[in-house]
Structure 1
């Protein structure tokens, strides 16, 4: 017996959701635990260096297992055609139309939409990873040619994409009618407080991250140092220069330092004095 383990995350034009991938992980763990030889195939768009469907010759397998997602559509039907000589089993799938050839092509279907069967993803093991709030500054024309926002953000986001972490885009801009943004600063600081660390090129990303008690990897997008660097000095918090944004070793060590401070009171806020403003106003009466 040799099993080919597939799912929607296996198709070139499929979709790799967290639930899909966890379901494949759960199915693979069950097969391994039973001592059943198997291969998993992935979409080249999701995992370019892995085994893909064209690499899995039908003659090499006795069974095909399809895990998670809807048993529906031409890609599932094509799977039946390619592996017609194999016994085909669907597990943890949704069955919208029981008469669909994508469904009837399976020799056995273990559906999840019977109101009784839990989703397969619940059976998969998961590992905790850091959760990073990412706050990027928009183009700031006031800095003229010193602004390096594009190249700094390309370097920073390219580095972030390769990290084993959960990345949460955050925006300091508020909006009352846009559900994707916070409507009040209190909501924004509350959201930031749930992060393990913040990565930002924005002044208020630095300031409000520290205000929320979260360590911040701050990068100044302005060559020679702009307001992020100045605010870092005012707060006694390190800031990476724009010229060093491509130094992945530096970014990695700074992030490691930030994460080492999680839960250890990373910042005791300096409360700015407004006495000068008050004196100015009182004196002008």
Structure 2
């Protein structure tokens, strides 16, 4: 037994084949906050699949801890039972957990269970509800295409999608994959343009390599970081120029530095610029092809 009290924090987020959910991690944050306020030292054990560089169960020395705390999730299964065997000398406490069968070894092995729900017990609020609040990151819609084969050898769509998504994975943001294709039968897609526009208008930023990803974002007053996936530039570049939108990266000059630059611009100066362009769209100040359509029809009829 260690001479001084030290807690090892575990949960389903600690197991190699477990998973880290947002609720579990927020529950952990709540427990960490309580321990820090009480000035109780602790370590957190993470799944190597989720946080490769963190402390993992395989590297933990159980003799260094006086207490084991299991945070959130259900108390069942051989993984939880193995914690009881490996940390047998520790005082073991489960907090914010669900108990399906209080007599099962996984649940019965704890010295104390501070459950959120258990048979014949009044439920209490989940730990995630009182987790310390963190600043909200930007909400980013991601509109990419892997098609457009009409551009032949000039297509860089796969490369662009790979580089953009890899870069996005390293940004602190809430990512929302979107599709401009409409479908009245697929609940995951908008059935009308208005449904998609309702989402776009609530975003902080759109990252896209699609013409309509750019135009519809600006129509909603949301800044767009556009990447043209065609070597030499094609319709995305043309539309950015027509709309007077500067946040554009070409496929042949795509790199993290350029993406970072326009990301910062879109989240600082971009919202005002996007709202200005949206106002221009609504005012109809700039002509488009439809303005010339009646005259073209008349000429064709006369001919």
Q: TM-score range by the shorter chain?
A: over 0.9
Q: Does 1:119 align with 2:126?
A: yes
What is the TM-score with the length of structure 2 in the denominator? 0.90
Partner Cα distance (1:40, 1:178) in 2: 41
Runs of 4+ with deviation above 3 angstroms: 269-273, 282-285
Aligned to 2:35: 31
Q: How does 1:258-273 map to 2 (within 5 A)?
A: 258-261=266-269, 263-264=271-272, 266=274, 267-269=276-278, 270=281, 271=284, 272-273=287-288
Between 66-75 and 110-119, the greater mean CA deviation after superposition: 110-119
Q: Does 1:235 align with 2:251?
A: no
Larger Rg: 2
Kindly indicate whether the alpha-carbon contact (under 8 Å) linking 1:3 and 1:36 is maintained by their aligned counterparts in 2: yes
Aligned to 1:10: 14
Kindly indicate whether the alpha-carbon contact (under 8 Å) linking 2:116 and 2:123 is maintained by their aligned counterparts in 1: yes
Once the two structures are TM-superposed, the CA of residue 77 in structure 1 deviates from its matched residue by 1.2
Aligned to 2:293: 277
Partner Cα distance (1:242, 1:262) in 2: 21
Q: Which runs of 5+ in 1 are unaligned?
A: none
Once the two structures are TM-superposed, the CA of residue 127 in structure 1 deviates from its matched residue by 2.1
Once the two structures are TM-superposed, the CA of residue 280 in structure 1 deviates from its matched residue by 2.2
Partner Cα distance (1:283, 1:96) in 2: 77
Partner Cα distance (1:116, 1:264) in 2: 47
Q: How does 1:13-92 map to 2 (within 5 A)?
A: 13-92=17-96
Partner Cα distance (1:177, 1:209) in 2: 24
- Corresponding residue pairs, total: 284
Aligned to 1:176: 184
Partner Cα distance (1:95, 1:127) in 2: 33
Task: Describe the superposition over 1:62-90 as per-residue Cα deviations: whole angstroms up to 9, x where unpaired.
Answer: 10000111111121111111111111100
Kindly indicate whether the alpha-carbon contact (under 8 Å) linking 1:196 and 1:262 is maintained by their aligned counterparts in 2: no
Partner Cα distance (2:270, 2:59) in 1: 44
Partner Cα distance (1:281, 1:97) in 2: 76
Q: CA RMSD in A?
A: 1.4
What is the TM-score with the length of structure 1 in the denominator? 0.96
Once the two structures are TM-superposed, the CA of residue 262 in structure 1 deviates from its matched residue by 5.8
Kindly indicate whether the alpha-carbon contact (under 8 Å) linking 2:243 and 2:277 is maintained by their aligned counterparts in 1: no
Q: Which runs of 5+ in 2 are unaligned?
A: none
Report the secondary structure of 2:8's partner residue: strand
Q: Does 1:225 align with 2:233?
A: yes
Q: How does 1:93-132 map to 2 (within 5 A)?
A: 93-113=97-117, 114-125=121-132, 126-132=134-140
Task: Describe the superposition over 1:132-190 as per-residue Cα deviations: whole angstroms up to 9, x where unpaired.
Answer: 10000122110001000111111111100011111110111111111111111100011
